[in-house]
Amino acid sequence: MAILTAPGLATGMAYAAPAVPVAPAAPGTPAAPGAPAAPATPAPGPGATSLEQVRKDIEELYRQAGAATDAYNQAEAEAKAQSDKIVEIANQIVAGQERIATLKSRAGAAARAQYRSGGLPPSAKLALSDDPNQFLDGANRLRQGEKAASDMLTELDRTQNDLKRYAQDASAQWTLLEANRIKQENAKKQTEEKIKAAEELENKLEAEEKARLIQLEQEAQYRAQTAWLSTGAMKDVKGSASEAGKRAVQYATAQMGKPYVWGAEGPAAFDCSGLTSQAWLAAGRPIPRTSQEQLRLLPKVALKDMRPGDLIIYFDDASHVGMYVGDGAMVHAPRPGRNVTMAGAGSMPIKAVVRPDA
């Protein structure tokens, strides 16, 4: 049985070719057979049941932390967009104020010129003029000047209205920015609380129990993956990676062994959507930052049409994402305390598959 052990895996999980048909890895993508080899399972000790419950509790806490991380990342992205918008509005206000100053200066010059002319009515100027043609020429220029003055006043009024609208827009953006700042703080607090609770559970374990916990994680992933493959989910999956997809897969797999850090986008560490968004950015296609926005905004594809480079969104709340790499496997940043690694594509509940380069 051909076994691939990906270098840098935190768990040292090995993958073996499944007994059901799977899509061949696309050229240029790393081989990644679809089902993990079943971990050697020693006879369970007296604390096995309670340790399994601890595993489930820790897993749920980290999943909740992942959802809160997504909320934090989304609020952060929105806050940045609002900050950029406020800067843009500020520049528009400065330009508008400079335009008003110029228009007022021109209006003042026109008023002074009219004052110097004495403000005589046209009929009086014609009677006093020695040269009627010169008067008519001057009158034509006067009409042109009056129209220019009228246009200038109209533009001044429009610019002043623009400044009022800019001020209103800036106020609205500040309100949104403050709301997103509060969202960020709440999401950060929730994330930190969930991670702390999970770490406290894990820190209570003895070294032997921690090793057993990792093995229980592997076994749970193996059961989920083999159950998923046994449904025939991969039998029609034969898609080949696009050129951009190959670049995205190459980037993502090159990060294996780097730690998960919530909110991180590399280069030293990643969270789950930080990894997938940066991989596709490296492939030349910017995509949304969070797994929930990736689900919402990227085109969905049927599982049978999945190809390397596609993103697999997990759990009902779309709180986790991995990148399909071929042969029933995906690469992902799992959770705090674990490194970027390869796992079975069906080792968690799949919600949808999306394609960044559809």
Catalytic residue status for 303: no
Give residue 12's pLDDT.
Answer: 31
* Nearby residues of 196 by Cβ (< 8 Å), 6 or more positions away: none
Catalytic residue among 61, 237, 252, 272: 272
Q: Is the pTM of this model over 0.75?
A: no
Catalytic residue among 258, 332, 351, 355: 332
Residues 3, 13: Cα–Cα separation, whole Å: 10
Catalytic residue status for 210: no
SS3 313: strand
Contact 252, 325 (CB under 8 A): yes
**Alpha helix positions (H), 44-131:** 48-116, 122-128
SS3 150: helix
Closest CA to 25 of 279, 281, 234, 283: 234
Catalytic residue status for 332: yes
pLDDT in tens, the chain (358 residues): 232 333 333 333 333 333 333 334 444 445 544 445 555 444 444 445 588 888 888 888 887 877 777 777 777 777 778 778 788 888 878 887 877 777 777 766 666 666 665 555 555 454 445 555 555 555 555 555 556 666 777 777 777 787 877 777 778 877 877 777 787 788 778 777 887 888 788 788 888 888 888 888 888 999 999 999 999 989 888 889 999 999 999 999 999 999 999 889 999 999 999 999 999 999 999 999 999 999 999 999 999 999 999 999 999 989 899 999 999 999 999 998 899 999 999 999 999 999 999 8
Give residue 35's pLDDT.
Answer: 44
Residues 256, 334: Cα–Cα separation, whole Å: 11
Give residue 259's pLDDT.
Answer: 96
Give residue 91's pLDDT.
Answer: 82
Residue type, 179: A
Catalytic residue among 63, 258, 320, 351: 320
Residues 272, 191: Cα–Cα separation, whole Å: 14
Give residue 72's pLDDT.
Answer: 78
